Structure 1
């Protein structure tokens, strides 16, 4: 690794012949020698290159070697460069002291000892190359540390995601087991009750009125199971990108009217009602089954969490979109929970009504998005919620005149 590092050497002397002689003495394949005949020229080179060693002649016109050394020591970029002084002034002790005070690491006297110069320069070159190797190793270690820190962060995030997924799975299994058990327990109880009546020959228990009630109860339990299974299947379809959307033209006002009529009995049982307002009669190319699925979910939630107050359903045109709004006057949703309700298995109002898998709004949003629309919520705790479904209308959509439609 050391053989690939080139050491740059700076020699400063006002006499060209001294520079040539010194360069011939210290040059080598692993070295790059730069010459300067003045302090100003030397400073320019020092700012441009990273030197392993600077060899300065003490006696130069203008700025001498000692003054140049002090400048070198005063600059951040050059303060760590080893400095060797060269002087022909003899070996006076005060000269050497002044050199060391200026930041020199060694002092050479003219005439130069060839072997000593070569040996000392080789030592500084080797030190420079070893320091370069160490710096590169430290840089590599720092990069490795940063990469490991990034990897650790990613692993911690993955662990958090995994723990969240495990919690979701456990919650999901707990919810599923509870939600499936409820209708199953009802069916099992009904079956055991009928079996007991049959074993006792109690034919009166199967009068037409009682049979009708039994069938209706069974149907509710079976529909609950079907709905749970369909929700789980829809989540699977969404995750695999296989959610089926089969658009065809239909009037959404007719769909809303039918749904409100269908939910009338449920609303009456909760001692409330649904108020429908159709401002614009709109027809679009949507999957009627899927849009019904969305609206059924919103109406069910509005009745469930509406605090037995009137639920308002409105249809109007908003630019190039059809907008259906379902508004309740119930418990409302906090701002924090509004960001969660469209996630899987979220049941924000679970303390009020622990029913369902927490998939309804997630599936509803995915269905609306698949149609190129969007679903929004406007809510405040204790003041109810308004869910708005926006669906794109055909570019050349023709509105139906309700009066003309009636007279026809």
Structure 2
């Protein structure tokens, strides 16, 4: 759990969203007093603490937290927009902070620091649990050793009644006692049974004997009467009193039938495991496709539905009786509805397949025509001018590459200048290498597609942010959107083994550049 402490909610919200995107559980407090109350009730791995707050400032809160035993492993990161001098940074570290960051904070750097400190916190907790477990194990072993010491008088009678070979060994390695089953594999009580040439464990056993630790191995022993080598499980346990080795107790358990059965079962398991791995891979790919379908239903398929609603509204407002123009609008509405129904049916049918999405030759010209048809009403209202140069046929996953172009065109229409009609131009050329500035080549194996607009543009110093989910360079009041479109476009380009970047200046429009392989290999 991460705790963010800041007296200004507008500072807490973006940090909370960024950390939640990286699967962190996040709590918040708007004052030092509230933070202390929460620390007493909840264990936090990392506390992101604002320095300047009314009442208790960040340094006072950190000093108070340092006195809580349950917060001993909690790391504190100070944030400050004003107190950036060395003396304040020094005070932050002496107050118990592990880091001191000044605002504005780079969200990627902050996330990396939080991840590192969160991992260290988890490791500390795991070490504590391991320590407790080891302490318990030591206590159990001590009790067991004491019980063994008290029962050594009964040991030989117990070994004599066992159905397997049993024996005891003195600390110097001499055989002390063997039961009657021993003589099926050995001629006398002082000689170990003969093992298979591949199972010679004498040298290995000497190391265990020297170090006084348990020895367990599967070996094959030669039965004297039949000459057959049979699988046995050899276990030799050290018996200690007050930490001193007093003798060894060992057994040979015949596991020959089980071993043969296990070998056969292992072969079957290996074959079945291969089948399951293949099925699991298919399932993972299928699940990924289902996520894409969810996005398509919530985004791509809304445009035809909006068109139906707009046209039906026009019919209600302008036409009451049979009219040629009204009939035309109605026909367009019906066609859009049919198209929507067909598209949904196709997608739902595809989502039920277990095979992964495959690359296939895609005519980008036809795909762009469909996308522009979906934006027809927006283009008409904004008086946008869109020109598309001839585009090549590339191997793509059509549904995903559609999302890329739809997001780029949608942004170009959305982020246009006030009182100036959007002008969008899309061009393409083959290039030699998978690089943004690669030279053009008629026989190139890659295609560079550029989407150019005359919109509001952006400062290229924010390039790393525009493709990060929920990152916006404009305020929500002026331009709608969630900040997720370009992040989705980036993921789809990665799926196509391609690249995406942008070039722009404020108030001078933008160019979004796509690099796609001409041919793809289906895995």
TM-score, normalization: structure 2?
0.32
Higher relative contact order (CA 8 A, sep 6+): 1
TM-score, normalization: structure 1?
0.39
Larger Rg: 1
Whichever structure has more helix as a proportion of its residues is 1
